[in-house]
Amino acid sequence: MHIQHTPNERIIKIEKTILRGIRPRSIGYNARKGTHGPNITDAVVRLTTENGAWGIGPANLSIDKAKDILGSKIEKLFLLPDGAIDDGVSIDLPLWDLIARMLNLPLYRLLGARGKRQVELYDASIYIDDLDLNDEQAQNLFKEEIDSGLEHGYQNFKIKVGRGGRWMEPTAGLLRDALVVRTVREASPKDSKIMIDANMGGTLNSTLELIKLCADYDLYWFEEPFAEDKLLNHALKSHIIETNSKILIADGEFHPPNYFFKLVEEGLIDVVQHDFCDYGLTWWRSTAAKLETWDALCAPHTWGSYIERYHHAHFAASIPNYALLEASPGKMPGIIEDGWSMHNGKLHVPDTPGAGIAIEKKIFAQGLEDRSAFSLSL
């Protein structure tokens, strides 16, 4: 969809509220960091224009930047068809929601509507929770975690690996990683996509060995096996090709180097995962178009957030080269879903205006009392 005219009203109110949610269990370790806990925290910004139009979305917005933006006309912050410009980059997601609502369009249509409205999710909460357990106890634990994910509607699962990098003796850690992968595969539906993620905690040798140990488990991707390196990534991809493996390499979440996209262009990285909120829809739209020419997939990082899934799903429904949406079981009180539904591990993107969500008045007001929240108006 090509739209020439950008609505041009002044933004007269900017509010940043803090929403708090909870997961069904505490989240454990990854290859590099300790326990992540059960809590979910989302910073959400609501923009209001002089004529009463509004838009919301997650944003890491400071009060100083908000003061700079307050009173600006939309065309100084956002231009169709490309998106956020200048100071608007700091409120990218709320701006896209605002513009879509003002044009009475679902966000995915404003973005181009080139993808599928049934967006496949994966449960990314299968962390390293087994360091004090023997093999049998670990297997029972991860069977329970998969059962929980299935009960919450998920079909695909990502598993944290890399126990031997920091938490266990290398060989023992590698064998436990493989055992957990086997356990998850056996506990999941046959058509489930299973991913593994080492959070850059591995080496080339440990990566190749784990791929070998998991050769029969039909892994969809291996995420951040080690810190990006031209020679190592070449060696890894060569091994994958030589062994006729179908596993994809996913990367980009954690401070990617300046040559990162050269690795993608050369086919060494298959799935790009820069953070969704930090980089924004405007960046991701242009990046997705570039990746499409290289036959690479998009799967932005969204771990730690609950509310990002809505804007994220609209993005997924707007492009043809989308992989999977990162999510996990949890509850976030106060979110009003307008037309959303989840079936068979897929989130259905509605035709309601904007991102299709709102925040209950009471919950929004409670979040404004947080010390990092604010409300500015003219």
CA distance 231 to 266: 12
> Are 235 and 370 found together in one domain?
no
With respect to residue 146, please indicate whether it lies within any of the assigned structural domains: yes
Q: What is the model's pLDDT at position 4?
A: 58
With respect to residue 111, please indicate whether it lies within any of the assigned structural domains: no
Q: What is the model's pLDDT at position 353?
A: 97
Listing DSSP states for 244-285 in one string gives T---EEEE-SS---TTHHHHHHTTS--EE--BHHHHHHHHHH
With respect to residue 5, please indicate whether it lies within any of the assigned structural domains: no
Within its chain, how far is the Cα of 22 from the centroid?
A: 17
With respect to residue 113, please indicate whether it lies within any of the assigned structural domains: no
Integer angstrom CA distances of residue 281 from 233, 300, 307: 28, 10, 15
> Are 349 and 365 found together in one domain?
no
> Are 216 and 91 found together in one domain?
no
> Are 144 and 176 found together in one domain?
yes
With respect to residue 95, please indicate whether it lies within any of the assigned structural domains: yes
**Residues of the chain with confidence (pLDDT) below 50:** none
With respect to residue 112, please indicate whether it lies within any of the assigned structural domains: no
> Are 36 and 99 found together in one domain?
yes
Residue type present at position 140: N
> Are 353 and 365 found together in one domain?
no
CA distance 321 to 338: 26
> Are 263 and 347 found together in one domain?
yes
> Are 286 and 249 found together in one domain?
yes
Of 11, 38, 40, 43, the residue nearest 368 (C-alpha): 43
Cis amide linkage into residue 94, ω under 30° from 0: no
With respect to residue 332, please indicate whether it lies within any of the assigned structural domains: yes
> Are 316 and 176 found together in one domain?
yes
Q: What is the model's pLDDT at position 6?
A: 87
pLDDT tens digits, one per residue of 185-203: 999 999 999 999 999 999 9
Read off the CATH number of the domain in which 68 is found.
3.30.390.10
Integer angstrom CA distances of residue 246 from 127, 216, 237, 349, 370: 24, 11, 11, 29, 47
> Are 130 and 257 found together in one domain?
yes
Overall domain count for the chain: 2
Of 151, 10, 2, 126, the residue nearest 72 (C-alpha): 10
pTM, two decimal places? 0.96
Read off the CATH number of the domain in which 235 is found.
3.20.20.120
Listing DSSP states for 215-230 in one string gives GGG-EEEEE--SS--H
> Are 325 and 246 found together in one domain?
yes
> Are 295 and 370 found together in one domain?
no
Q: Which two tokens stand for residue 322?
A: 């989308």
pLDDT tens digits, one per residue of 73-127: 999 999 999 999 999 999 999 999 999 999 999 999 999 999 999 999 999 999 9
Of 99, 21, 27, the residue nearest 57 (C-alpha): 99
Q: What is the model's pLDDT at position 2?
A: 53
Could you tell me if 310 and 355 are in contact, meaning their C-beta atoms sit under 8 angstroms apart? yes
With respect to residue 4, please indicate whether it lies within any of the assigned structural domains: no
Domain that holds residue 240: 118-357
